[in-house]
Amino acid sequence: MAQMETRRKTSAPHIDGSAERLAQIADAKQQFMDAAINMGWQLAVTIIVPVIIGVRLDDHFHSSPAWTLGALFLAVFMSCGVVWKALHGVTVAQTKAQKGKKS
């Protein structure tokens, strides 16, 4: 019985550290999910709007896939920027969170 109490006492700091680690993981997951949801609608708008504009320009100028393909390539480059911005934002937020906890 005395051995069990000793084990519990020595493992208590480990549990506290583990709880702190779990809180950090949960915070990182929340930041990632927020960024993913935000990035999702930005990607949808970034791709759909130029393609719709390209289709309308093709209809207006009777140039079948030219404007649509141009708009699609533009949308791909713009979506790369959206992804980079989202990943950079998550990295910056995690760096700030780590610096705040060390201070």
3-state SS string for the chain: CHHHHHHHHHHHHHHHHHHHHHHHHHHHHHHHHHHHHHHHHHHHHHHHHHHHHHHHHHHHHCCCCHHHHHHHHHHHHHHHHHHHHHHHHHHHHHHHHHHHHHC
In the chain, the percentage of residues whose pLDDT exceeds 90 is 54
90 band by pLDDT with thresholds 50, 70 and 90 = confident
Amino acid at 96: K
Res. 81: pLDDT tops 80: yes
Which comes out higher in pLDDT, residue 70 or 101?
Answer: 70
100 band by pLDDT with thresholds 50, 70 and 90 = confident
pLDDT of residue 27: 87
